Amino acid sequence: MNLVALQQPAEVEVAVDNFAATVTTRLAGGRFAGLFGSAGADGPVVLRSTISRNGVLEVVKCAVPSGGAGTPAGYPALTPAVPAANWYEREVADLFDLYPEGHPRVDPLVLPRDAEAAAPRPGSGFGRGGGHIVLDEAALPAHVSGEGVFTLPFGPVRSGVFESVQYLVETPGEDIPHVRARVYHKHRGIESRFEGMAPADGVLLAERVEGVASVAHALAYCQALEANASGPGLPRGALLVRVLHAELERAANHLDSMVRHTEAAGQAVANSRLAWHKERLLRLRAELCGHRFARGVVVIGGVAGPPALAPEATLRELAGLEADVRADTKLLMATSSFIDRLRGTGVITPEVAAARGALGPVARASGSEEDLRTHRPYAGYGLIELPEHRYRDAGDALARQLVRLEELWGSFRLCRVALEALTGEPAEGPWAADVVPADGIAWGWAEAPQGELLCMVELDGGRLCRVKPRSASFHNLSLFPEAFGGDIFTDFAFIEASFGLSIAGVAG
Amino acid sequence: MPWATRGLRDGVLTTRYPKRPDGYGHAWRGSVNVKAAQRTSEPWTELCPTGAISNSISGAPTLDRGKCIMCGRCVAGRPGDFGFDPSPEVAGVSRGALVVPPTSESEAEVASARAELARRARRLRRSLHVRHVDAGSDGSEEWEIAALLGPVYDVHRLGVYFTASPRHADLLMVTGAGSEGMAGPLWATYEAMPEPRVVMAVGTDAISGGIVSPSYATRGGVGDLVPVDVWVPGSPPSPFSILHGILLAVGLLSERGGP
C-alpha cells in the first residue's frame, strides 16, 4: 500500500476587486493554468484561477456577486494583464453570464446564446433540470479589416474525417496573416451533465470528454476524488497499470499525429505504415483490457483488474512494434520532401509559449521543460525511473514532431518498466482500494498526450455537483492563431496536425 | 526509393473481411447480449448507467444496444444474465433492431426496413462515396472511421471511397450526440447530397446520446436531425462494426443471407 495522494493546491481567497491584481502578482515566475467557474443553486459565482509555479499548483479564488435584476454580474477582467486568460474569460461569460470588465473582445466561444437565453451556470443544477439552450449565431461577430482581405470559413464540415471545428482564415489570397477558431459547433454541455451523477458514473462520462485521451481524463477525475478520500491507499499494482495504459494512450496519440503529418505531406507509404502501427497499438490495448481506448480501466480507488495479456507477451508485442516504428520514423525523418514541410512551419517562439503558458508537446518544442509526470508525479510515476527530459526550442512543427518522437520512445520504455515492475504482483490483487470520497472540492491532474489536464471535482452529499475538466486542447487551441507568421495555406494541415488537439476537449 | 521497398516489407496486411471472417474482428467485445430468459427476484435496471436495460412484459430483461456504452457493469454484476458477444456485426437497419433479444415485431420491422433500403441503395453497391460529419462526438469515432482508410481495413478494395464534397456522396456517416451547433451544418450537408442517399449513425452517442445526453446542448443522438437508415452501436464502434454497417447499408450482406 503506497498511495501518493495528490498534494492539493493552496487556495487564497480575495475580494472580487482584487482578483485580477492578485492573479497577476502571483503569476510572476509562474504560468496561468486556467479559470474555473462554479455556480451554486443561487448566489454568487465562484471563480478559481489556477497558477502553476515550478510545477506547484496554487489557486486564487473570488466570489462574484450577482449583478441584480437585468444586469449581468461583472468582475475586472484578467485578460488585459494576462493574455492567456482570454479564452477562459470568454468561456466563463458564455456559461455563467459573467461579464469580464475590460476584456478586449468578449465574443461567444463555446455557447453563442441569444441575450435573453439563460446561461447553463454549471454547478447550479441546471444540468439536472433537462432544460435546453438554443444557439443563436447572430451573437457572433463578423468582421475583417484590411485592403483586399477576405475571410475564408474553413469548416465546420471539412474534407476528410475530422472533428467539427471552424477556422476563419483572414487572407489576401495565399498568406495567412490571421486565423480565428470557432469551436462551439460541437459543444455538448458536458460539464453540466456531470451534475447529480454518482462518482462511479462520472468516470464513464470523464472518459468521453475527450475520447482519444480517455485514460488521462479518467485519471485526473479519479485522482481528484481519491485526494479527498478516507480509506486505505491505492495498491501498487493499480498505480503501475495506470502508468501502462496512460503511456500506451500517449504512444497512440503521438502516432496519430505522425499519421496526420504523413497524410498531409502525401507520403503514402509512410502514412500506411504508421497507420498500421497505430492499429497494432490499439489492438494491443484491447487485448490488455478489452477496449481499444482503454475505457473502463481506471476506476475510483485503482483499476478494474490486471492486464488480460501476460507481461511476456505484451513485452514481445511492444518490442516488435517499437522496432518497426523506429525503422519507419528514421527513414521518414531522413526524407527531405517530408522534413521540408515541417521545418520553419508554424513557429511558436519560446517567448510566446512562456507568456501564454503553452502546454504539452507544443510547450516542450518551444523551450518549456514542464511535464507533470516529473513535476507533479501521480499514479505510479513516483515509483519508477522516468526517462530523461528532452525539450527543444525551435518552436516549429518539426520541433513538435521531434519532441513527440522522443516521448514515444519514452512511453515504450515506461511501458516496459511498468510491466517489469508488475511481474511480482499477484493476479488476484487487490487492484482497487475501497475509497470513500469526502464532500468538498478537490483537484486532479494528468499529463495527457496533449499536455497538462486539470480536473476540478466538487462533491456534495456523495453526488457530483460540479466537475470541470480543463483539457490541454482548450488551452493550446487558443495559441493556434499565434503559429501563423508568414505561413501559407498549404502549411495549415501541418500546423494543425503538429498541435495534435482534440476539439471535443475544447468545446466541452 | 527506399520507401518503395519499405512498402513491400510486410506483405499484405489487409483483412479478408467480409469474404472471410477475421480472427481479430471476433476476438473481443462487440456488444452485450442478454442471457437471462426469465424473471429473477433481483432487479436489473439500476445496473445500467445509461438506462439500456429494461424489463419486457414477461419480466425478462431486454437490452437496447443503441443506449449501451459497453461499460460492462451488467456483465460484471450479473454474469449469469448478461455477457459480451464478440461479434462486431452489430449494426441494424432500424432503431428497434438494436434491442436484444429481438421480438417477432422487431424482426418484421427489420425485414421491411431492409427491403426499402435495398431498393434505394441498389445502385450504390459497386461504388460508394462516403461523407463523414461529426455532430458532437468525443473524437474516438473519428479515429475508428479513419482506420477504414488504412492498410488493415482498406475499404477501397470494396469500392468504398471517402469524399470531400457532399455533392459526390451517397452515404452520410454521422457521429456524435447531436450537438445543437451542428444541427444546421449537418442538415445542409444532407440536403446537398444527391438521391438516392443513405444515412448511417455511427456510435452509441449518435444513436441515443449515450451517457453524454440528456444535456442542454445535445439532441440525444442524431435521429432527430437527419433521417437515419443504418444504426451502428458501440462506444466507439470498432472499424469492423463500421465496415459491417457500410455493407449492410448498400445491401452487400443480404446476398449472403444477412448478418
Report pLDDT digits (tens) over B169-226: 999 999 999 999 999 999 999 999 998 999 999 999 999 999 999 999 999 999 999 9
Distance in angstroms (rounded) separating the CA atoms of residues B151 and B143: 14
Q: Which residues 5-64 of chain A have a CB within 8 Å of chain B? A: none
> What amino acid occupies position B176?
G
Q: In whole angstroms, what is the distance from residue B137 CA to residue A190 CA? A: 11
Q: Considering only alpha carbons, which residue of chain B is nearest residue A184?
A: B181
**pLDDT value, residue A70:** 65
How far apart are the C-alpha atoms of A350 and A347, rounded to whole Å? 9
Residue numbers of B between 157 and 176 with CB closer than 8 Å to A:
162, 164-166, 176
- The one-letter amino acid code at A136 reads D
Phi first, then psi: give them for residue A429, nearest 5 degrees.
95, -155
As beta bridge partners, residue A36 has A48
Name which of B51, B107, B50, B53 is nearest B81 in CA terms. B53
**Is A296–B71 a contact, with Cβ atoms under 8 angstroms apart?**
yes
Q: Is residue B255 classed exposed, middle or buried when 0-12, 13-18 and 19+ CB atoms within 10 A define those classes?
A: exposed
Query: Does A290 lie at the interface with B, CB-CB under 8 angstroms?
Result: yes
Pick A286's closest partner by Cβ from B28, B146, B235.
B28
Tell me the pLDDT tens digit for each residue of B26-55. 777 889 999 877 776 677 778 899 999 988
What local confidence, expressed as pLDDT, does residue B258 receive?
44
The answer to whether residue A208 neighbours chain B at the CB level (below 8 Å) is yes
Mutate to test the interface with A, among B143, B168, B193 (most CBs of A within 10 A): B143
Counted across chains A and B, CB pairs separated by less than 8 A come out at: 175
A56 to chain B, closest Cα gap in Å: 30
Match domain A194-472 to its CATH number in 1.10.645.10, 3.40.50.2300, 3.40.630.30, 3.30.1330.200.
Answer: 1.10.645.10
Q: How far apart are CA B232 and CA B141, in angstroms?
A: 11
Q: How confident is the model at residue B105 (pLDDT cuts 50, 70, 90)?
A: confident
- Is the pLDDT at B87 greater than 60? The verdict is yes
The rounded mean pLDDT for chain B is 90
- A105 with A140: CB under 8 angstroms? no
3-state class of A382 per DSSP? Answer: helix
B109/B97 Cα distance (integer angstroms): 8
B8 phi, psi to nearest 5 deg: -95, -10
CB atoms A164 and B182 under 8 Å: yes
**For residue B106, what pLDDT is reported?**
82
Q: Which residues of B touch A505 (CB under 8 A)?
A: 139
- Residue A296: list chain B partners with CB under 8 A: 71-72
Whether residue B255 is predicted with pLDDT greater than 60 in this model: the reply is: no
pLDDT score, position A143: 65
- The domain spans of chain A are 10-139, 194-472
Per-domain residue ranges for chain B?
Answer: 24-88, 104-256
What is the pLDDT tens value at each position of chain A, 508 positions in all? 345 688 899 999 999 999 999 999 999 989 999 999 999 877 789 999 999 988 899 999 999 988 776 677 899 999 999 999 999 999 999 999 999 999 998 999 999 988 788 899 999 988 887 788 888 888 887 766 677 778 888 889 998 899 999 999 888 877 877 888 999 999 999 999 999 999 999 999 999 999 999 999 999 999 999 998 877 789 999 999 999 999 999 999 999 999 999 999 999 999 999 999 999 999 999 999 999 999 999 999 999 999 999 999 999 999 999 999 999 999 999 999 999 999 999 999 999 999 999 999 999 999 999 999 999 999 999 888 888 777 899 999 999 999 999 999 999 999 999 999 998 888 888 999 999 999 999 999 999 999 999 999 999 999 999 999 999 999 999 999 999 888 888 899 999 999 999 999 999 9
Note the pLDDT tens digit of each residue in A326-371.
Answer: 999 999 999 999 999 999 999 999 999 999 999 999 999 999 999 9
Question: Can you tell me whether residue B173 is helix, strand or coil?
Answer: strand
Backbone angles phi, psi at A29, to 5 degrees: 75, 5
List, in sequence order, every beta strand (DSSP E) within B35-115: 53-55, 61-64, 82-85, 99-100
Chain A interface test: which of B10, B26, B48, B142 (most A C-beta within 10 Å): B142
Predicted confidence (pLDDT) at residue B88 exceeds the cutoff of 70: yes
* A13, three cell numbers: 481567497
Instruction: Name chain A contacts of B29, Cβ cutoff 8 Å.
Output: 290-291
At residue B85, the 3 state secondary structure works out as strand
* Run of H or E residues at A500: none
From the list B49, B146, B177, the residue facing A204 with the nearest CB is: B49
Beta carbons of B139 and A502 less than 8 Å apart: yes
B178 touches chain A (CB under 8 A): no
CA dist list (Å): A298 to A431, B210, B234:
10, 19, 19
As a whole number, mean pLDDT of residues B110-135 equals: 89
CATH 3.40.50.2300 fits A10-139, yes or no: no
Residues 319-358 of A with CB under 8 A from B: 328, 331, 335
What CATH number does the domain located at B104-256 have? 3.40.50.12280
Q: Which residues contact A223 (CB under 8 A, 6 or more apart)?
A: A6, A378, A379, A444, A445, A446, A455
- Give buried/exposed letters for B116-154 (b at 16+ CB in 10 A, else e): ebbebbeebbeebbbbbbbbbbbbbbbbbbbbbbbbbbb
pLDDT at B162: 96
B99 or A41: which leads in pLDDT: B99
Q: State the pairing for strand pair A45-53/B160-162.
A: unpaired
DSSP characters for A85-108?
Answer: GHHHHHHHHHHH-EEEET-S----
Q: How far apart are CA A133 and CA A115, in angstroms?
A: 12
Single-letter amino acid code for the residue at B199: V
Write the CA distances from A432 to A226, A228, A235, A236, A352, integer angstroms.
11, 16, 6, 9, 43
Find the angle CA(A443)-CA(A445)-CA(A446) to the nearest 5 degrees.
170
pLDDT at res. B256: 40
- Which cell goes with A117? 437565453
Tell me how far CA of residue A127 lies from CA of A41, A170, A196, A385, in angstroms: 11, 37, 8, 43
Q: How far is CA B222 from CA A69, A355, B92, B182, B218, in A?
A: 38, 41, 15, 10, 9
Distance, first Cα to last Cα, chain B: 44
Rounded to 10 deg, the angle between the A268-289 and A236-264 helix axes is 160
What does CATH list as the number for B24-88?
A: 3.30.70.20
Of chain A, the end-to-end C-alpha distance in Å amounts to 36
A125 touches chain B (CB under 8 A): no
Nearest CB partner across the interface for B150, out of A162, A267, A275: A275
